[in-house]
Amino acid sequence: MDYPRLSLWFLFIFNFLVSLTTPQPLAYNRCSTSGNYTTTSTYAANLNEFLSSIPTSSDLNSDGFFNTTIGQSPNQVYAIGLCRGGQTVTSCRSCLSASILAIIQSCPNQKEASGGYDECRLMFSNHNVLRSTEYYLLYFRCGNSAGNMAQFNDVLDNLLFSLRDRAAAAPRKYAVDKANYTIFQNIYGLAQCMPEVSEPDCRSGYMAPEYALYGQFSVKSDVFSFGVLVLEIVSGQKNNCFGNGDDVEDLLSYVSMILEDTLLATLDLT
């Protein structure tokens, strides 16, 4: 028997099985502190049922929007998901399945959590997340900077207003476009709303660029609702500078800190 080759074959099978159960790192995730569940609880059973139902669930429509509830109160699981426009139903299901598995592993025993990849976003909770008004801080901090901020903001504003109107009016509530900032640089934008929201509600979700950079978003509007808004400010690379959390530093606090340090440096404390 060729033992070395057999060992390699078993190693290949093992690595393949590991790849099936170990999802790729999430592009974005958030663990809530709203409560925990135990692995033997009814809530855990409902969450596992939700996980296993995604590949065949009829709740995923052709627009890539997913909204379902499993179980009975007080152990009911609410879940919503949204795939980026242009995804097939098959790729959307695969992304949502990978997302929920990765979210559960990233936020073990949390009754509420959210996350996803570039192609999809998903959130589950023990309360109706479509009615959520919870807020948390979100920020983007990238190394690239515009040389002419006034010109950049003018181009960006026009792009965002255009995307807002086009996404709101589109049947799938989705629009992509780009705008020329310089001869060598483009600003790429994507706007998407939940398919079930009205055109006026989709429009009202537009936020100015400064809020997209440093601002306060609800879980609902950031992840799923009146527009998953993605901006890629590129010079040949995609924007991958993203952060979120309860203790992140927003622009105002950052500027205040600089001013405070500068003022203190000018004082003669002796």
pLDDT at 30: 85
Kindly report, residue by residue over 240-260, the tens digit of the pLDDT: 344 444 443 333 333 334 344
120 and 176 part of one domain: no
In this structure, the number of other CB atoms found within 10 A of the CB of residue 78 comes to 21
User: Residue 2 falls within a domain, yes or no?
Assistant: no
Could you list the residue range(s) of the whole structural domain that residue 68 is in? 23-132
User: Residue 255 falls within a domain, yes or no?
Assistant: no
27 and 122 part of one domain: yes
Across the range 219-231, mean pLDDT stands at 34
SS3 (DSSP) at 44: helix
Nearest to 240 by CA among 158, 159, 144: 144
pLDDT at 106 over 80: yes
For the ranges 35-44, 147-156, 185-194, 211-220, the one whose mean pLDDT is highest = 35-44
121 and 143 part of one domain: no
User: Residue 17 falls within a domain, yes or no?
Assistant: no
81 and 119 part of one domain: yes
CA 223/CA 218 separation, integer angstroms: 8
CB of 219 within 8 A of CB of 30? yes
Across the range 89-105, mean pLDDT stands at 89
CB of 168 within 8 A of CB of 193? yes
Kindly report, residue by residue over 31-85, the tens digit of the pLDDT: 887 789 999 999 999 999 988 888 777 777 777 888 889 999 899 999 888 888 8
pLDDT at 28 over 70: yes
pLDDT at 111 over 90: yes
Q: Who wins on pLDDT, 67 or 264?
A: 67
pLDDT at 130: 66
CA 103/CA 52 separation, integer angstroms: 14
104 and 162 part of one domain: no
pLDDT at 88: 86
- Among residues 82, 102, 132, the one where a domain terminates is 132
Band of pLDDT at residue 86, cut at 50, 70 and 90: confident
How much is the mean pLDDT over the chain?
68
Tokens for 258, please give them: 């600089």
46 and 92 part of one domain: yes
CA 172/CA 167 separation, integer angstroms: 8
143 and 99 part of one domain: no
Residue with tokens 């959130």: 123
CB of 41 within 8 A of CB of 171? no
CB-side neighbour CA atoms (13 Å) of 64: 25
142 and 128 part of one domain: no
- Among residues 87, 109, 132, the one where a domain terminates is 132
Count structural domains, the chain: 2
70-76 long-range contacts, CB within 8 A, separation 24+:
70/46, 71/42, 71/43, 71/45, 71/46, 74/126, 75/41, 75/42, 75/43, 75/46, 75/126, 76/46, 76/126
C-alpha triplet 115, 118, 121: angle, nearest 5°: 35
Tokens for 110, please give them: 């949390």
CB of 237 within 8 A of CB of 187? no
pTM of the model: 0.61
| Burial tier of 137 (Cβ tally within 10 Å: 0-12, 13-18, 19+) | middle
Instruction: Quote the distance between the C-alpha of residue 63 and its chain's center.
Output: 17
| Burial tier of 30 (Cβ tally within 10 Å: 0-12, 13-18, 19+) | buried
- CATH number of the domain that 37 lies in? 3.30.430.20
